[in-house]
Homo-oligomer: A and B are copies of this chain.
Amino acid sequence: RSGEMAKSTQLIDNEVFRAYATYTAIVLLKMMLMSLVTAYYRVTRKAFVNPEDTASFGKGDSAKKFLRTDPDVERVRRGHLNDLENIVPFVGIGLLYALSGPELSSALLHFRIFAGARILHTFAYLIPLPQPGRGLSWAVGYAVTFSMAYKVLKTVSLL
């Protein structure tokens, strides 16, 4: 058993993989926070989508009026979906990139810029900042993932 355990910790002992683990955990936790922000706005704006969620406000029309969309709730939901669209490729391509043997400094640069860009993107979306604030932070994260994919495809000799 101890032999197996030793084997299972090899990857996490690798410096590049540790960096990947750190920043992947950070961006996924950031994405998870969007659920709490959505819940916060749904409760404070009293804007729900499921009838069973408004049952505590009473029966009939008194509860029905809380089944509505709210601009703030919809804004957070768009930010959450944008996270899914961009963080899923980062997690998948980032894993392959971390296993393709990059320099630690290069890997850290990729992971840190991506994490920073996505955190900025969230602030740009929720405050909201004037454009091109959100657009630029999105593009930086997109470019980082693209750069990692290029390294992966070069390592497997496709490029």
Contact = CB atoms under 8 A, between A and B. Distances in A.
Interface of A: 4-5, 7-18, 21-22, 24-25, 28-29, 31-32, 34-35, 49-50, 52-53, 55-56, 75, 78, 80-81, 84-89, 91-93, 95-96, 98-101, 128-131, 134, 142, 145-146, 149, 152-153, 155-156, 158
Chain multiplicity (copies): 3
A64 B34 CA distance: 27
A73 to B, nearest CB: 13
Contacts of A85: 31-32, 34-35, 80, 84
Contact of A155 (B12, B55, B75): B12
19 contacts: A4-B13, A7-B14, A8-B99, A8-B101, A9-B99, A11-B99, A12-B96, A12-B101, A12-B155, A21-B96, A22-B153, A28-B93, A31-B85, A31-B88, A35-B142, A49-B78, A52-B131, A56-B131, A80-B85
A16 B28 CA distance: 22
Contacts of A93: 24-25, 28
Nearest to A125: B50
A22 to B, nearest CB: 5
Contacts of A91: 88, 92
